[in-house]
Amino acid sequence: MAKIVIDGREVEARTDVNLLQACLEAGKDLPYFCWHPELGSVGACRQCAVKQYANADDKRGRIVMACMTPVTEGAIFSVDDPEAKEFRGEVVEWLMTNHPHDCPVCEEGGECHLQDMTVMTGHRERRYRFDKRTHNNQELGPFVKHEMNRCISCYRCVRFYRDYAGGEDLGVFSAHNNVYFGRHESGTLESPYSGNLIEVCPTGVFTDKPFSKMYSRKWDMRGAPSVCSNCATGCNTIINERAGKVRRTLNRYNDEVNRYFLCDRGRFGHGWVNAPTRLRSAGYVINGDMTPVPAQAALDHFGKIAATGKLVGIGSPRASLESNYALRKLVGAENFSTGMAEPEHSLVKLAVSLLGSSPARIATMHEMETSDGALILGEDVSATSPRMSLALRQIKRTAFNKAADQARVPHWMDASVRTLGQDTVSPLFVVSPTVTDLDGFAQDAIRAMPENAARLGFAIAHRIDSSAPDASDLTEAETASASRIAEALLAAEKPLLVSGLQYASAALLQATANIASALAAKGKTPLVSFVLPEGNSMGLALMGGLSLDEIVSRSADATLIVLENDLSRRLDTVRFNTLIDNAANLVVLDHSVTPTAIRSQVTFPSAAYTETDGTLISAEGRAQRFFQVVYPDAPLQAAWRWIADMAQAAGRSHVKPWAKLDDLIAEIATIMPVFARIPEAAPASDYTLEGVPLRSQTHRVSGRTAIRANISVRDIPPPASPDTPLHSTMEGSYSTDMPGTLVPFYQVPGWNSEQSLNRFQQEIGGKMRGGDCGVRLVEGVANAAASYAMDVPSAFVPRVGQFMLLPEARVFGTDEMSMMAQPIADRAAPAVVRIGGAVAKGSQVRLSLNGEVFTVDAVSDPTLPEGVATCPPHMVSRSWSAPGWVSLEMTAPAERVETESAV
Amino acid sequence: MNNIETFSNIPHILANGTEWYLGLSACVDGGTKLYGVSGRAKRPGVFELPLGTSLGVILNECAGGMQDGYKLRAFLPGGASTAFLGAEHADIIMDYPTPEKAGSRLGTGLAILLDDKTSPIGMIRNLEHFFAQESCGWCTPCRDGLPWVERLLIAIEEGRGTPEDIERLHDAARLIGPMGRTFCAHAPGAIAPLASGLKMFAEDFQRMVSKSTPGTVESGAAGQAA
Ligand code: SF4
Ligand code: SF4
Ligand code: SF4
Ligand code: FES
């Protein structure tokens, strides 16, 4: 810390930040554009000008850019100096010379950083009286709109898209006041992080395209803190709603998790909550058609069929912990399934037990960014956990920063750091059977089949600690790689190991755990992370239960209750049919119509994650709460409420209704010790800030009664729920000190855009003032004695006449719920089978997956070895997702048929 | 080192030694300089002369003096990004300190002449067009400030300027000129002829706006109505 003087006031400032940050942290309103808390400074916009004085006697001073000025002990500055103020006002006036001032029709309006900064500088009257230049806009695909005339050339978009996220198809073209930010031609933005442009761009150039179709001003929407459930990473989000419809998803800052950015699956994957595929009433299914029935009738019917006899409950890794627990309680632990089939069921359990017993700590994504020696072993993280992949990309920055340290350049001095770092090698190693997006950043990208990747992992562990088992018969290249990677991990201060379940290989997880143990045995404190399949996979593994396979053999004549789970994605058609046909009854609780729901007898419509509250446990072992933003009309309600109602109807009196979510959470925490800390994941529903409950709308929200005036002009009481601490209206408290888990939107006086986040943080880029988000339930065991898995798999051997078919994970296409959102479905490329070896253009293959035959377009992939092919899980056969040997029957281009698709 | 003129000296200095090089000069800074003259001189061109040669020698002996019928009114001693000096400095010593003392810079050493029959406003407009167009587009004062300056100059030159336009030009000079306001020295360079020209040719500017037709706007749709 250093003492500096800002406008005559002495303040303590951090010395590793620039003066702009110091001013903002000191509570000053200093406008800026090109600086971004996560992207650093480049000094382009010249908006953050302040006066710097050489010493106390210097009365004239000189103008400097705060974002380019380091904080040094005793430095004297003025933000309010008239000359600095005049300059800042003039910068906005210059920016405005070509700006269209179309705020009334601009979708940034009301949350526009340019509006805020313009007001802040006091620029009010336009003196520029000449023509404005105009640009052509581009069509950028289903996610992002482009309105280039509003551009103020702050360069943030390209710095995020290219420098931070590694995208290549967005750039800056031309020169002088004609600089153009876009693609070389219209076309879908390729980066899976493109949606962040919407928040990174301080103007209305890049806006949210799906949101645009049901646009509303920020101030007119309700917000609620939520957690993304489109993968297991658990990014924190804010969901916006108006008039009962979910409008959009925004990033919610969690310093340890997603920080400033989301992936596009998370940002644009919510649309299914408004889709026609939603279940909105209880129903009977007769001959595959769902007939709506009153909820009470459905409950009565359930009461009849379930009053006696065995109940079997199938939970779900995409449902909340609370709903899963309620079902488990209703049916009894011995009749409860995690909802996962083999091999996923066992692998998730294995992953969780390895994490819980390892001497390594589970890495947060923020920790991953600064690892100085990382190994990704047998997982295409860029597709299975896109946000984690973005964090891993920042590892190259660790190398840049080392070079910068040598040149005594501060880390926030972005352009210089990048220049200094351009020849550095990033301490990242990728071992994967297929090419991954991270390869380009890696020091070494090694192609290896899952078995061989695992063997390499074992070999690395052995080279770190010789008491770990080695893999036998390694090739020379493998031996060299193993030694090189072992050395790099041993040399690292923050070694990081990442693997996952994509290739359904226990050996990969065990090899990773062996490396972690070996590093710990050598006195290192390794970080580890396993990518899990779904939003609550971790929660279900901790809760425990039978696998679906076990259920298939045990549930004959039972009443099956399926919670928010489409079993057709998990069981092949034969077993799916067997399970349903053998059961006495099938009852489905879900928010969407699925192939499982249409086989049920009775269906109950459960509330989606935007309409209810609950807890998910991310792959990091972090319990996080999502809160409802929509107050759904009856009969929609949380699945756990349905389960309580069903228990009542069936006279199963051991399940008493819970009055509110907190009661249920408290019960789980008491009954199941692993979940003892879940009440800490977020404040309870009786939370108040200075004695007043929180609000979820802005003070400016308009049309509270007018919006339904065509129906009735009566003032109806606002909706309420006993489960959420957020009031549904604009009445209530709101402050920068509110818990990070409960922030419904970011806004402070003068700062209406998401940039107001600065004020909610203890220090910029640091912790939230109102405290952490979520609570970690799984920690390794520091100082655990090294215990090594000894089963080293044998090397992959190709088979004559058969192909090893590997699952090709995709950001868009292989995830269940997000594919029910139109923008994601539009973005998903059609399924193809990639084949190692020559394939004539336009060929198709016939392949048998789980006993069914499919015809799929085939392409040659020269990066795959002969005898290996890939196929996206769930996109061809609904249930296929794990590697296996297949026969591929090629058909020539001339014999093409319409391809089949499961989605 | 990225300047060809400097670079081309190196082999000669290596071959002949520093003494020799220093001895070539007419002032304390050693060596020769590529001087140049453009504008209405009889023989515009580039001339290698001892550093510290006077402009009188460069203009009259090397470039043949002013063309017939034209008188020197002012000049930019060292290229487009140096400030105007009046004709009274026509014999100025072209070393480093002397032009600075007079309020300009030696710059490139390539003098640009303004004669008595050419509009100084047109000349400045032409210079600012160059600077606005050559802006790389990185920082705001240069990227967006200079095109505004250019348009103000066009308006004044074409008889559509207002007294406020002159104020705006002074604002731009004051706000963009000092070092540190922009990312690089391009924009301060652009302001050097503007700031000095506004002072030196104040009457020309006043005259142009006083006889301008108020109310007319730029070609195109935007203009004052917007
Ligand atoms: S970008 Fe901002 S200032 Fe510009 S038109 Fe849109 S809302 Fe208005
Ligand atoms: S498009 Fe947006 S982010 Fe990119 S330079 Fe323009 S204003 Fe900045
Ligand atoms: S001053 Fe330099 S950096 Fe800034 S826009 Fe002009 S040429 Fe580019
Ligand atoms: S924020 Fe400092 S120059 Fe842009």
**What's the pLDDT band for A837 if we cut at 50, 70, 90?**
confident
Q: How far is CA A506 from CA A7, A450, A792, A810, in A?
A: 61, 10, 10, 21
* A94: contact with B, CB 8 A cutoff: yes
Atom of ligand 4 nearest to the CA of A49: 2
Q: CATH assignment of A345-534?
A: 3.40.228.10
**What mean pLDDT is predicted for residues A566-581?**
95
Element of type H or E holding A428:
strand A428-432
* A727-768 per-position pLDDT tens digit: 999 999 999 999 999 999 999 999 999 999 999 999 999 999
How far is it, in rounded angstroms, from Cα A318 to Cα A819? Answer: 14
Tell whether ligand 3 has an atom less than 6 A from the beta carbon of residue B138.
yes
- B-chain CB neighbours of A87 within 8 Å are 175, 181
- Nearest residue on chain B to A96, alpha-carbon basis: B144
Supply the pLDDT for residue A901: 66
* A625-664 per-position pLDDT tens digit: 999 999 999 999 999 999 999 999 999 999 999 999 999 9
- Min mean pLDDT across A149-158, A722-731, A834-843 is at A834-843
Supply the pLDDT for residue A771: 87
Whole-complex ipTM: 0.93
Whether residue B223 is predicted with pLDDT greater than 70 in this model: the reply is no
Tell whether ligand 1 has an atom less than 6 A from the beta carbon of residue A151.
no
Measured in residues, chain A has a length of: 903
* A293-345 per-position pLDDT tens digit: 999 999 999 999 999 899 999 999 999 999 999 999 999 999 999 999 999 99
Whether residue B212 is predicted with pLDDT greater than 90 in this model: the reply is no
Question: Is A130's CB within 8 Å of B141's CB?
Answer: no
Delimit the domains of chain A by residue range: 2-80, 345-534, 803-895
Q: How far is CA A208 from CA A106, A145, A485, A673, B159, in A?
A: 12, 6, 42, 43, 46
- B-chain CB neighbours of A69 within 8 Å are none
Domain B120-225 has what CATH class? mainly alpha
Q: What are phi and psi of A693, to 5 degrees?
A: -65, 160
- Min mean pLDDT across A612-616, A851-855, B57-61 is at A851-855
* A677-705 per-position pLDDT tens digit: 999 999 999 999 999 999 999 988 877 77
**What's the pLDDT band for B220 if we cut at 50, 70, 90?**
very low
* B177: contact with A, CB 8 A cutoff: no
Kindly report the nearest CA distance between residue A319 and chain B, in angstroms.
49
Tell whether ligand 4 has an atom less than 6 A from the beta carbon of residue A67.
yes
Q: What are phi and psi of B33, to 5 degrees?
A: -140, 145
Q: Measured between CB atoms, which of B138, B178, B222 is closest to A132?
A: B222
Delimit the domains of chain B by residue range: 4-114, 120-225
Q: How many CB pairs below 8 A link A and B?
A: 95
- Nearest residue on chain B to A50, alpha-carbon basis: B181
Kindly report the nearest CA distance between residue B182 and chain A, in angstroms.
7
Ligand nearest to the CA of B134: 3
Write down the mean pLDDT value for chain A.
Answer: 95
Question: Is B181's CB within 8 Å of A46's CB?
Answer: yes
Ligand nearest to the CA of A108: 1
How far is it, in rounded angstroms, from Cα A68 to Cα A80? Answer: 18
Q: In this structure, are strands A622-626 and A614-617 parallel, antiparallel, or unpaired? A: antiparallel
Which CATH number fits the domain B4-114, given the four candidates 3.30.1390.10, 1.10.10.10, 3.10.20.600, 3.20.20.330? 3.10.20.600
Q: CATH assignment of A2-80?
A: 3.10.20.740
Question: Is B133's CB within 8 Å of A176's CB?
Answer: yes
* A514-548 per-position pLDDT tens digit: 999 999 999 999 999 999 999 999 999 999 999 99
Question: Is B181's CB within 8 Å of A87's CB?
Answer: yes
Whether residue A895 is predicted with pLDDT greater than 90 in this model: the reply is no
**What mean pLDDT is predicted for residues A171-179?**
97
* A99-112 per-position pLDDT tens digit: 999 999 999 999 99
Separation of A36 CA from ligand 4 center, angstroms?
9
CB A670 within 8 A of CB A657: no
**What's the pLDDT band for A73 if we cut at 50, 70, 90?**
very high
- Min mean pLDDT across A68-77, A260-269, A323-332, A767-776 is at A767-776
Kindly report the nearest CA distance between residue B33 and chain A, in angstroms.
32
Q: In this structure, are strands B85-86 and B72-76 parallel, antiparallel, or unpaired? A: antiparallel
Q: What are phi and psi of A864, to 5 degrees?
A: -95, 145
Supply the pLDDT for residue A850: 86
- Nearest residue on chain A to B135, alpha-carbon basis: A176
Tell whether ligand 3 has an atom less than 6 A from the beta carbon of residue B183.
yes
Helix (H, G, I), strand (E, B) or coil at A772: coil
Supply the pLDDT for residue B225: 32
Q: Which stretches within A394-433 are classed as H helix?
A: 395-406, 414-421
Tell whether ligand 2 has an atom less than 6 A from the beta carbon of residue A203.
yes
Separation of B140 CA from ligand 4 center, angstroms?
10
* A786-825 per-position pLDDT tens digit: 789 999 999 999 999 999 999 999 999 999 999 999 999 9
Question: Is A177's CB within 8 Å of B224's CB?
Answer: no
Whether residue A591 is predicted with pLDDT greater than 90 in this model: the reply is yes
Kindly report the nearest CA distance between residue A128 and chain B, in angstroms.
7
* B168: contact with A, CB 8 A cutoff: yes
**What's the pLDDT band for B1 if we cut at 50, 70, 90?**
low
Question: Is A177's CB within 8 Å of B137's CB?
Answer: yes
Q: CATH assignment of A803-895?
A: 2.40.40.20
Q: Measured between CB atoms, which of B136, B148, B223 is closest to A175?
A: B136
**What's the pLDDT band for A894 if we cut at 50, 70, 90?**
confident
Tell whether ligand 3 has an atom less than 6 A from the beta carbon of residue B142.
yes
**What mean pLDDT is predicted for residues A415-440?**
94
**What mean pLDDT is predicted for residues B157-171?**
95
* B33-70 per-position pLDDT tens digit: 999 999 999 999 999 999 999 999 999 999 999 999 99
**What's the pLDDT band for A171 if we cut at 50, 70, 90?**
very high
Global confidence as pTM = 0.96
How far is it, in rounded angstroms, from Cα A464 to Cα A486? Answer: 6
Question: Is A177's CB within 8 Å of B219's CB?
Answer: no
Supply the pLDDT for residue A900: 62
Atom of ligand 1 nearest to the CA of A204: 1
Q: How many helices (H) and strands (E) does chain A have?
A: 24, 35
The set of residues, in sequence order, having a beta carbon less than 8 Å from that of A348 and lying 6+ positions away, is A317, A338, A340, A501, A532, A533, A537, A538, A540, A541
Of all protein residues, the one whose alpha carbon is nearest to atom 4 of ligand 2 is A157
**What mean pLDDT is predicted for residues A83-111?**
97
Question: Is A44's CB within 8 Å of B223's CB?
Answer: no
* A153: contact with B, CB 8 A cutoff: yes
**What's the pLDDT band for B222 if we cut at 50, 70, 90?**
very low
Question: Is A94's CB within 8 Å of B141's CB?
Answer: yes
